[in-house]
Structure 1
């Protein structure tokens, strides 16, 4: 892998103070968001947060992404650890195709059916950069904050000890209920 790295910089936020480091893998740039005490923590809490522009930035109610990100930022700020902002929009189909998938969802398809109809797998994400970030930040044990069994399986496949899975449960609303049920019933998410 030919990955470029930034220096580490400070990032004060409304959730607390963090340090950040960016990683560029081909055309995708990912971000490690670390608590100030991250380097002193033997078993950090870690969230691999998949990019969601519509949720994270615009506050879309169609998903629970912004709520999960905010929950993780508050938690990591208090308890210590790391959030990897994994920049693979729309399960790595890109923003344009994600909006097309939204349009199909507006016609009644679920998130999986929409991706398949557009010619993609239900999930196109590639987690190889995560291994690189773990190695760079010397993570060999962690407590993973996730509901996604694929992320659990991926972390277990690395030379990293998964000590505990921490659920990331957010509120259901009338706009994301069908989406969350699809993630639970069809993708095995631990909701």
Structure 2
């Protein structure tokens, strides 16, 4: 794993002022978004947010991604901590395949069925960059903002002490209700 990283820069946002640092691993670039007081925190709040261009940028109602990112950035700006923007689009199947998965979902498949029909596992994400970011930023204890049991298990496998899990609960709508049900019933997400 050959990782290139940027310097830390300021990022004023509509949520508040942050510090950012980029990490490049092969062809993917990830971002650490830190509250201004991040370095002073013994146990920061942390959100590992998986990229979702259609949700995060375009405001898609087919998922809860933008709502979870919005919730995390507001919370971190207020309480202090870190959002890792994990750039693995569509559970790491890429944007083109994600749009193909959307087309299959339009025909009645759920997100897992669509990924499998396209030749992928239900979730192709690789969290190795998270370990590097945690080490680089000196993170040993956190309060993790997640609903995903796989993220919990991965962070625990790194030896990072999870002091608390904070659910990332947002409102569902008629377009993402089945998506959220699939995450809950088939992927074990904790809502």
TM-score, normalising length: structure 1 = 1.00
Query: Which runs of structure 2 are paired with 1:56-135 in the superposition (5 Å)?
Result: 56-135=56-135
SS of the counterpart of 2:112? helix
1:97-127 residue CA offsets vs partner (Å, 9 max, x unmatched): 0000000000000000000000000000000
Deviations 1:113-152 (A, max 9, x none): 0000000000000000000000000000000000000000
Q: CA deviation at 1:47?
A: 0.2
Cα RMSD of the aligned pairs, angstroms, is 0.3
Divergent runs of 4+, >3 A = none
Q: Extract unaligned runs of 5+ from structure 2.
A: none
Q: What is the match of residue 44 of structure 2?
A: 44
State the SS of the aligned residue for 1:164: strand
**Superposed displacement of residue 58, structure 1:** 0.2
How far the C-alpha of 1:159 sits from its partner, in A, is 1.8
- Measure, in 2, the Cα distance between the counterparts of 1:133 and 1:50: 15
Question: Are 1:5 and 2:5 counterparts?
Answer: yes
Secondary structure of the structure 1 residue equivalent to 2:163: strand
Partner deviation per Cα, 1:25-58 (whole Å, 9 max, x = no partner): 0000000000000000000000000000000000
**SS of the residue 2:162 aligns to:** strand
Give the Cα–Cα distance (whole angstroms) in 1 for the partners of residues 15 and 38 of structure 2.
16
Q: Secondary structure in 2 aligned to 1:104?
A: helix
